[in-house]
């Protein structure tokens, strides 16, 4: 792969403890290791990684806005306007060889690519039109259909498209014009920079010290597709077993823009009688995640919709901890009964699988699952990650 000057446009805070943020970090790190010079342009939110070997540029902050929630929102549109303006300025001044646009920044990359005759890569962290349709962000079919046309136009003008799962890649390929390369960035654990400080580790461990109960850990956001309501209902079912409250569910996450969702789930936990069993740990920096994982008994991903693989799944696998996940395409592209415990996405089935993971699984089977999981989630997969990314960029020279 020849050395290139790349503008990487990320319409998100950077860096935050979110899967998409970690994926962006892994992608930029891979591009740099492949010998490229990368300028990252992102929102004026988040905390940049220290000692990074790429430039981080932040767009202007819209007045009175200090946060943006995950998924489509009016606030995100307001952040995207100055992001697009700054991307145009940088592209005009710096003359990039490739423009890499993530999610809706794929539209910005399309605009700039056509204007400055620059090849661009469309990076699909998710299928945006599907998210918008599922979340009913547009009340009018007219606007949704218009968005789908813009999305299709941007996809078909790209030199390469990268996705987060083979199912998404398969669908994308059926909708592309000849000559557009599409590929899935393979399994890659989230590479968290730095280690928790002694103070941070001590603060986290204090939650576990003296807690003579098994811990189920969830990390991530509180968006509807994550199935937190399903998880809480399953905890109610789990409490009714002979465990009888001898466990705790730790929910780690829920940053800016999710206050309303967290309040709703706290109220739900209270109403179904599981307030003591559910611990809302709040948002923590990326380097805190390995400490929470290390101290927990099992990990859970209760996602209920989507076809993109959650990036945290690879980190969960790399940890070797037992993972319980719902049996949906987002998970089953990577997970199987050989590396995790899978449950149908309903409260009783998930509760039964959590029970199995906590008390009913044999140590021999636990070790077998752990070994297979580590093999899939190992850091060596980053080499494959870089290889696919290099192939995508080679198509930008075609």
Instruction: Report all structural domains of the chain as residue ranges with CATH numbers, in order of start.
Output: 5-188+382-397 (3.40.50.2000), 198-377 (3.40.50.2000)
Question: Encoding tokens for residue 276?
Answer: 């003591």
Say what the pLDDT of residue 374 is. 65
Say what the pLDDT of residue 25 is. 86
Say what the pLDDT of residue 179 is. 82
Other CB atoms within 10 Å distance of the CB of residue 389? 26
Contacts of 393 by beta carbon, 8 Å cutoff, 6+ apart? 1, 4, 31, 34, 36, 98, 121, 160
Tens digit of pLDDT for each residue in 75-97? 999 999 999 999 999 999 999 99
Identify the DSSP state of 288: G
Report the interhelical angle of 128-135 vs 141-157 (nearest 10°): 170
Helices and strands counted in the chain (H then E): 15, 13
Say what the pLDDT of residue 120 is. 97
Rg, Å, the chain Cα set = 21
Say what the pLDDT of residue 169 is. 87
Say what the pLDDT of residue 306 is. 79
Whole-model pTM? 0.65
Q: Name the nearest CA neighbour of 318 among 372, 393, 245, 373.
A: 373
Residue 309 has phi, psi (to 5 degrees) of: -75, 125
The ranges of the chain with pLDDT < 50 are 379
Q: How many residues does the chain have?
A: 398
Report the interhelical angle of 141-157 vs 105-116 (nearest 10°): 50
Report the C-alpha gap between 50 and 282 in whole angstroms.
23
CB 23 within 8 A of CB 189: no
HSE-up of residue 151 (Cα within 13 Å, Cβ side) = 20
Burial (CB count <10 Å: 0-12, 13-18, 19+), residue 114: exposed
């Amino acid at each position: 792969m020849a050395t290139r000057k790349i503008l990487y446009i990320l319409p998100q805070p950077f860096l935050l403890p979110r899967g998409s943020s970690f994926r962006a970090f892994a992608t930029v790190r891979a591009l740099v290791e492949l010998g490229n010079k990368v300028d990252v342009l992102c929102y004026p939110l988040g905390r940049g990684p220290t000692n990074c070997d790429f430039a981080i540029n932040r767009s202007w902050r819209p007045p009175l806005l200090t946060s943006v929630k995950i998924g489509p929102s009016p606030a995100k549109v307001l952040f995207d306007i100055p992001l697009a303006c700054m991307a145009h300025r940088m592209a005009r001044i710096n003359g990039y060889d490739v423009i890499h646009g993530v999610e809706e920044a794929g539209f910005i990359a399309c605009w700039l690519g056509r204007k400055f005759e620059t090849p661009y890569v469309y990076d699909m962290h998710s299928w945006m039109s599907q998210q918008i349709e599922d979340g009913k962000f547009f009340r009018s079919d007219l606007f949704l259909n218009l968005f789908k046309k813009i999305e299709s136009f941007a996809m078909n003008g790209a030199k390469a498209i990268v996705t987060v799962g083979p199912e998404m890649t398969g669908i994308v390929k059926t909708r592309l014009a000849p000559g557009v390369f599409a590929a899935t960035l393979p399994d890659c654990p989230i590479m968290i920079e730095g280690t928790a400080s002694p103070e941070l580790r001590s603060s986290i461990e204090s939650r576990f010290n003296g807690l003579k109960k098994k811990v189920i850990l969830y990390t991530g956001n509180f968006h509807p597709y994550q199935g937190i309501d399903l998880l809480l209902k399953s905890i109610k079912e789990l409490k009714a077993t002979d465990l009888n409250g001898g466990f705790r569910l730790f929910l780690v996450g829920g940053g800016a823009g999710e206050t309303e969702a967290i309040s709703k789930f706290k109220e739900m936990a209270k109403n179904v009688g599981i307030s003591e069993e559910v611990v809302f740990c709040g948002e923590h920096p990326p380097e805190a995640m390995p400490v929470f994982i290390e101290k927990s008994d099992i990990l859970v991903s209760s996602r209920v919709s989507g076809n993109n693989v959650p990036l945290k799944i690879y980190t969960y696998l790399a940890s070797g901890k037992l993972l319980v996940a719902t049996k949906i395409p987002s998970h089953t592209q990577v997970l199987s009964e050989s590396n995790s415990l899978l449950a149908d996405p309903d409260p009783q089935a998930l509760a039964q699988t959590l029970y199995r993971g906590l008390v009913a699984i044999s140590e021999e089977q636990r070790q077998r699952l752990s070994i297979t999981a580590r093999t899939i989630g190992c850091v060596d997969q980053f080499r494959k990650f870089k290889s696919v990314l290099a192939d995508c960029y080679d198509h930008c020279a075609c």
